[in-house]
């Protein structure tokens, strides 16, 4: 093309291609605030909750009565004005303006996600024993020793953190401070990192692709093409903890009903007093003892939650690091774990069993495992794919025969057609793996909307088609045969 020289410069590449794509990563550290800092953490968290709820109320009213929507810019100006108000301004003024504005930014994002159809309608932020707020600017971290570091938060100064591992990523974007119901404080420092693109075509590492089946009896069954088959599980509660939790919950109920009974009598007494014109009695508040019980319950749950998080982080790291592709089932966990009791109009069936299943699903952290593996796969330049779920546990990976009878027991799979035998969960993992490879080869055909969202194709980590030579020539029967042909 000789004319190329005189032609106007080539069309600009789309924005997303100009720079290396960036991702964000959170580094979570246990914080050890001073007594003064602890008071401020609660106060900042409480103020942010107030601002968020106020912002939501404002938006809801504006929509209901004026049919117009409020923008962040308007609300942000108003919150600054409110800080100068003589009444509630005094305690809002103690919180740095940017932290309050960040609460409105988060609220705005929640509304945006709702309008984009990827999240439900923003809810009230209720008091739940959690305090949290985000500092969006000038967060600094300095390492003091091998074990300790300090993070600078606006209005709080430097706060000591246990530096259990080096910061990932560079360029701190923000920090979120959270106080959990058991009183422990954590700081999550968000930093940017560069996403890696797949280093080589997937086909070269095809065998490392892994299928993951999530179960109730065993949390995770993972199988790849290199002969690794793992059943991974962890108990989130010890038997002693379960017993203790039951006892504490019973104590809580006992104390609660006793207090309610006493308060009913006080109310009755107050009616008589009112008639006589006497001063009424005050209602009974929660006792110190009762608050202690609630704190102990919260501490038990916090321990299980941290164990669960540790489990999902470790397993997802292992899956993402060692496997070029990870395939998960597309489980609609939200609808699976929705209340079994149903509504008055449509009462649920098998309420008791379903409640048990729900508890088990939430206990094993099914959602977090898939979500975190996907995030980490992207960071490694690997692929993550979500495949349709129906029939994975009753399909034979050898002959593709589908039969309910093949699942002979909770843990045994024996194909009624060809006699193939395997552990039921590992068999499902194998089927998921094959479906995942097929989907990746096809360039990530959209499956059913992911987790009730409309994010479209669920192949992440690369542009569709970045899977290499095998792309687009996936064999109808199995994905692998196309790869063997290409290699
Ligand atoms: Zn078979």
Name the residue among 245, 122, 128 with its Cα closest to residue 178. 128
Which one-letter DSSP state was computed for residue 397? Answer: T
Q: Is the pLDDT of residue 396 over 90?
A: yes
Average pLDDT over every residue of 438-446: 68
Q: How far is the CA of 406 from the centre of ligand 1 (A)?
A: 9
Q: How far away, in angstroms, is 421 Cα from ligand 1 center? A: 9
What pLDDT shows up at residue 359? 77
401 alpha carbon to ligand 1 midpoint, in Å? 5
96 and 218 in a single domain? The answer is no
pLDDT of residue 66: 75
State whether residue 132 is helix, strand or coil.
strand
CA of 416 to the centre of ligand 1 (A): 7
- What is the 444 CA–ligand 1 centroid distance (Å)? 27
Q: Is 154 within a domain?
A: yes
Percentage, residues of the chain above pLDDT 70 = 79
Specify if 100 maps to a domain: yes
Q: Which of 81-85, 208-212, 416-420, 451-455 has the lowest mean pLDDT?
A: 451-455
Q: Do 56 and 131 share a domain, yes or no?
A: yes
- How many Å lie between the centroid of ligand 1 and the Cα of residue 427? 11
Q: How far is the CA of 143 from the centre of ligand 1 (A)?
A: 58
Joined together, the tokens standing for residue 226 give 């290199």
Average pLDDT rounded to a whole number, residues 367-385: 85
Output the pLDDT for position 353.
67
Q: Are 40 and 170 in the same domain? A: yes
Could you tell me if 184 and 310 lie in one domain? no
Q: Which of 112, 319, 305, 360 is nearest to 208 (CA)?
A: 319
The answer to whether 358 touches 340, Cβ cutoff 8 Å, is yes
**Of 479, 468, 401, the residue nearest 439 (C-alpha):** 479
Q: From ligand 1's centre to the CA of 415, what distance in Å?
A: 5
The pLDDT of residue 160 is: 97
Å from CA of 400 to ligand 1 middle? 6
Q: Between 65 and 22, name the one with better pLDDT.
A: 65
Do 214 and 136 share a domain, yes or no? Answer: no
Determine the distance separating the centroid of ligand 1 and the alpha carbon of 320, expressed in angstroms: 30
- Examine the domain organization and report whether 209 and 190 are in the same domain: no
365 and 248 belong to one structural domain: no
Same domain, 119 and 173: yes
Q: Residues 173, 219: one domain?
A: no
Q: Which of 134-148, 367-381, 448-462 has the lowest mean pLDDT?
A: 448-462
Top-confidence residue, 258 or 362: 258
Task: Tell me, in angstroms, the distance from the centre of ligand 1 to residue 403's CA.
Answer: 9
Determine, yes or no, domain membership for 14.
no
> 334-338, 400-404, 466-470: lowest mean pLDDT where?
466-470
Residue 290: inside a domain, yes or no?
yes
**CA of residue 394 to ligand 1 center, whole Å:** 10
On the question of pLDDT at 108 being above 50, the answer is yes
What is d(CA 110, CA 104) in angstroms, rounded to the nearest whole number?
10
* Confidence (pLDDT) at 40: 95
DSSP category for residue 395: B
**Gap from CA of 227 to ligand 1 centroid (Å):** 19
Give 42 or 168, the one with higher predicted confidence.
42
Q: Is the pLDDT of residue 415 over 70?
A: yes
Global pTM reads 0.69
Q: Say how many Å lie between the CA of residue 402 and the centre of ligand 1.
A: 8
Last residue of some domain: 296, 314, 345?
Answer: 296
Q: How far is the CA of 399 from the centre of ligand 1 (A)?
A: 4
Give distance in angstroms: CA of 429 to centre of ligand 1.
Answer: 15
- Name the band, by pLDDT with cuts 50, 70 and 90, for residue 291: confident
CA of 426 to the centre of ligand 1 (A): 15
**Least-confidence region, from 102-111, 115-124, 247-256, 445-454:** 445-454
Question: H or E stretch including 307?
Answer: helix 288-322
* pLDDT at residue 335 in the model: 65
* Domain co-membership, 346 together with 312: yes
Percentage helix, strand, coil for the chain under 3-state DSSP, each rounded to 5: 45, 20, 35
- Among 172, 194, 216, which residue terminates a domain? 194
Q: How many domains does the chain have?
A: 3
* 206 shares a domain with 248: no
Residue 272 domain flag: yes
- Encode pLDDT of 70-92 as tens digits: 788 888 888 888 888 777 677 78
- Residue 12 maps to a domain: no
Q: 């006792």: which residue's tokens?
A: 287
* pLDDT confidence bin for 413, thresholds 50/70/90: very high
pLDDT at 142 over 50: yes
The most distant pair of C-alpha atoms in the chain lies apart, rounded to whole Å, by: 106
Mean pLDDT, rounded, of the chain: 80
* Domain C-terminal end among 296, 314, 334: 296
Predicted confidence (pLDDT) per residue in 468-486, tens digit: 333 333 333 333 333 333 3
Domain shared by 253 and 306, yes or no: no
Average of per-residue pLDDT across 207-220 = 89
- Distance of alpha carbon 330 from alpha carbon 449, whole angstroms: 9
93-111 CB burial, b ≥16 within 10 A, e <16: eebbebbbbbbbbbbbebb
Structural domain boundaries, residue 395: 202-237+297-486
Q: How far is the CA of 477 from the centre of ligand 1 (A)?
A: 14
How far is the centre of ligand 1, averaged over its atoms, from the C-alpha of 224 (Å)? Answer: 19
Q: Is 109 inside a domain boundary?
A: yes
Query: What is the Å distance from ligand 1's center to 414 Cα?
Result: 8
- Is 1 inside a domain boundary? no
> For the ranges 134-143, 172-181, 462-471, which has the lowest average pLDDT?
462-471
Helix, coil or strand: residue 83: helix
């Amino acid at each position: 093309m000789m004319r190329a020289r005189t032609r106007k410069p080539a069309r600009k590449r789309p924005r997303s291609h100009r720079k290396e794509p960036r991702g964000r990563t959170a580094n979570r550290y246990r914080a050890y605030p001073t007594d003064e800092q602890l008071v401020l953490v609660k106060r900042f968290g409480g103020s942010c909750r107030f601002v968020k709820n106020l912002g939501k109320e404002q938006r809801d009213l504006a929509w209901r009565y004026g049919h117009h929507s409020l923008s962040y810019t308007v609300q942000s100006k108003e919150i600054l004005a409110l800080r100068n108000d003589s009444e509630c301004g005094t305690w809002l003024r103690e919180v740095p303006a940017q932290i309050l504005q960040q609460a409105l930014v988060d609220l705005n994002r929640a509304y945006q996600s709702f309008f984009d159809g990827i999240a439900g309608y923003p809810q009230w932020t209720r008091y739940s024993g959690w305090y949290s707020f985000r500092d969006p600017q000038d967060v600094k971290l300095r390492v003091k020793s091998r074990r300790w570091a300090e993070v600078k938060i606006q209005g709080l100064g430097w706060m000591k953190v246990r530096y259990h591992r080096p910061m990932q990523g560079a360029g701190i974007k923000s920090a979120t401070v959270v106080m959990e119901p058991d009183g422990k404080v954590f700081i999550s420092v968000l930093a940017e990192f560069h996403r890696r693109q797949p280093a080589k075509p997937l086909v070269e590492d095809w065998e490392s692709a892994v299928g993951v089946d999530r179960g109730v009896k065993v949390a995770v069954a993972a199988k790849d093409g290199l002969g690794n088959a793992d059943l991974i599980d962890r108990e989130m509660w010890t038997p002693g903890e379960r017993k203790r939790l039951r006892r504490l919950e019973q104590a809580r109920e006992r104390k609660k009903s006793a207090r309610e009974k006493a308060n009913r009598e006080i109310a009755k007494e107050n009616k008589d007093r009112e008639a006589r014109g006497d001063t009424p009695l005050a209602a009974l508040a929660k006792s110190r003892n009762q608050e202690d019980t609630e704190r102990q319950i919260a501490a038990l749950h916090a321990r299980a939650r941290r164990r669960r998080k540790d489990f999902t982080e470790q397993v997802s790291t292992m899956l993402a690091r060692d496997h070029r592709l990870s395939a998960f089932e597309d489980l609609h966990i939200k609808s699976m774990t929705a209340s079994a009791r149903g509504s008055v109009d449509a009462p649920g069936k098998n309420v008791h069993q379903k409640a048990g299943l729900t508890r088990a699903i939430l206990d094993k952290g099914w959602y977090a495992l898939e979500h975190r593996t996907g995030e980490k796969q992207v960071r490694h330049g690997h692929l993550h794919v979500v495949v349709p779920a129906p029939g994975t546990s009753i399909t034979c990976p050898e002959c593709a025969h589908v039969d309910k009878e093949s699942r002979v027991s909770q843990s045994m799979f024996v194909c009624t057609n060809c006699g193939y035998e395997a552990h039921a969960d590992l068999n499902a993992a194998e089927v998921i793996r094959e479906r995942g490879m097929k989907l990746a080869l096809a360039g990530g055909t959209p499956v059913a909307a992911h987790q009730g969202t409309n994010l479209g194709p669920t192949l992440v980590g690369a542009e569709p088609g970045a899977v290499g030579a095998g792309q687009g020539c996936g064999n109808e029967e199995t994905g692998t045969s196309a790869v063997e042909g290409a290699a």
